[in-house]
Amino acid sequence: MFKTISKLVNAFGPSGCEKQVAGVITNMIEDRVDEIRSDAMGNLIAVKRGSGKKIMLAAHMDEIGLIVTTIDEKGFLRFGTVGGVSPLISLGQRVVFENGLTGVVWYEESIENMKDAKPDKMYIDIGARSEEHAKELVGIGDMAVFAGQPVGQNGVVISKALDDRVGCAVLAELARRCPETDHEIYYVFTTQEEVGLRGARTAAYSIMPHLALAIDVTRTGDTPKSKHGAVALGKGPAIKVKDNSVIAHPKIREKLVNCARENSIPYQLEVLEKGGTDAGSIHITAGGIPSGGVSIPTRFIHSTAEMVDLKDVENAVKLLEAFIKR
Amino acid sequence: MAKALDDRVGCVILTELLKSRYPFDLYGCFTVQEEIGLKGAKAASYAVAPDVAIILEGTTCYDLTGTSEHMMSTRLGDGPSLTVMDRSVISDRDLLKHITRTADKLGIPWQIKRTISGGTDAGRIQVSGKGVRVCPIAVPCRYIHTPVSVMDKRDFFHTLKLAEGTLAELADWLTGDGDTDVKDSAKGTAHTVGLDQNQFREGKSNV
Kindly identify which residue of chain B lies nearest to residue A83, measuring between CA atoms.
Answer: B87
**Chain A environment of B130 (Cβ under 8 Å):** 39-40, 202, 205-206
The tens digit of pLDDT for each residue in A112-159 reads 888 888 999 999 999 999 999 999 999 999 999 999 999 999 999 999
Contact state of B112 with A41 under an 8 Å Cβ cutoff = no
pLDDT for the residue B201: 34
User: Between chain A and chain B, how many beta carbons pairs sit less than 8 Å apart?
Assistant: 107
Find the helix or strand (DSSP H, E) in which B161 lies: helix B153-168
CA A321 to chain centroid, in Å, comes to: 20
* Residue B187 pLDDT: 27
Predicted-complex ipTM score: 0.87
Q: Give how far A174 is from chain B: nearest CA, Å.
A: 19
pLDDT class of A196 with cuts at 50, 70, 90: very high
- What residues in chain B have their Cβ under 8 A from chain A's Cβ atoms? 51, 69-72, 84-85, 90-93, 96, 112, 114-116, 126-133, 180-189
Interface probe, candidates A41, A140, A193, A195, chain B, greatest B C-beta count within 10 A = A41
Contacts of A202 in chain B (CB under 8 A): 127-131
Angle between helices B5-17 and B153-168 (to 10 degrees): 40
What is the percent of chain A with per-residue pLDDT over 70, rounded to a whole number? 100
Closest chain A CA to residue B116: A80
Q: How many residues does chain A have?
A: 326
> Which of A17, A70, A143 to mutate to test binding with chain B, by most B CBs within 10 Å of its CB?
A70
Answer whether CATH 3.50.50.60 is correct for domain B5-177+191-199.
Answer: no
Domain range summary for chain B, segments of one domain joined by +: 5-177+191-199
Q: What is the pLDDT of residues B111-152, one digit of tens each?
A: 999 888 888 889 999 999 999 999 999 999 999 899 999 999
Q: Which residues contact B206 (CB under 8 A, 6 or more apart)?
A: B60, B62, B73, B115, B117, B118
- In terms of C-beta density within 10 A (0-12 exposed, 13-18 middle, 19 or more buried), how is residue B56 classed? buried
Chain B interface disruption, residue of A38, A49, A71, A194, most B CBs within 10 A: A38
Give the pLDDT of residue B177: 56
Q: Which residues of chain A lie closer than 8 angstroms to B181, CB-CB? A: 19, 23
Interface of A with B in 75-104 (CB under 8 A): 78, 80-82
Q: Which of A302, A304, A295, A316 is nearest to A231 (CA)?
A: A295
Q: Using CB atoms, which residue from A19, A38, A70 is nearest to B69?
A: A70
pLDDT digits (tens, 9 = 90+) for B153-204: 999 999 999 999 999 989 888 887 544 433 322 222 222 223 333 333 333 3
Active-site residue flag, A63: no
- For residue A326, count other CB atoms closer than 10 A to its CB: 10
The full set of domains in chain A, from first to last, is 2-63+160-325 (3.40.630.10), 65-146 (2.40.30.40)
Are B106 and B188 in contact by the 8 Å Cβ rule? The answer is no
Q: How does pLDDT run across A231-269, given as a tens digit for each residue?
A: 999 999 999 999 999 999 999 999 999 999 999 999 999
Report the residue of chain A nearest B95, measured CA to CA: A40
